[in-house]
Amino acid sequence: MKTLFLILLSAVAFSSCSSSKNSSKNLSKDYKENPCEDARYLKLKEMKMSDMTGAESEYFKTKTIKCEDYERRAKTKLTTIDVIVVSSILVAIALLVATVNSLGTH
């Protein structure tokens, strides 16, 4: 029975690690494409809107919208990863409690 418990616990632990790794890869790809870190955008961010040309102003507005969208998606992805990790921990605890209860009744 203890062997079964260890196998189940290992399976839960490894499955949560692999899903976190996959999510991390997706996040790192997104961070490479982060519109908030665009060099031109950062330079325009330091300027006053009244000092920008029409093209600079349009570029700045477009990048601001993309940056806000990016930050919202990144936050959602991190929240999803947190849910996966917490769920895996709860499953492991439930398996532990079930195993202890089954050992105690015999």
The tens digit of pLDDT for each residue in 7-59 reads: 665 666 655 544 444 444 454 554 468 999 999 999 999 999 999 999 999 99
Confidence of residue 3 (pLDDT cuts 50, 70, 90): low
Q: At 105, is the secondary structure helix, strand, or coil? A: coil
* Residue 45 falls inside a structural domain: yes
* Residue 49 falls inside a structural domain: yes
List of residues 6+ apart from 90 with CB closer than 8 A: none
* Residue 11 falls inside a structural domain: no
> Is pLDDT above 90 for 62?
yes
Confidence of residue 103 (pLDDT cuts 50, 70, 90): confident
Token pair 């929240």 is at which residue? 79
- The range of the structural domain enclosing residue 61 comes to 37-106
* Residue 24 falls inside a structural domain: no
pTM: 0.48
The predicted model gives 93-106 an average pLDDT of: 80
CA gap 20, 15 in Å, rounded: 9
* Structure token digits, residue 56: 């600079």
Per-residue model confidence (pLDDT) at position 55: 96
* Residue 5 falls inside a structural domain: no
* Counted domains in the chain: 1
* Residue 27 falls inside a structural domain: no
What is the rounded average pLDDT for all residues in the chain?
78
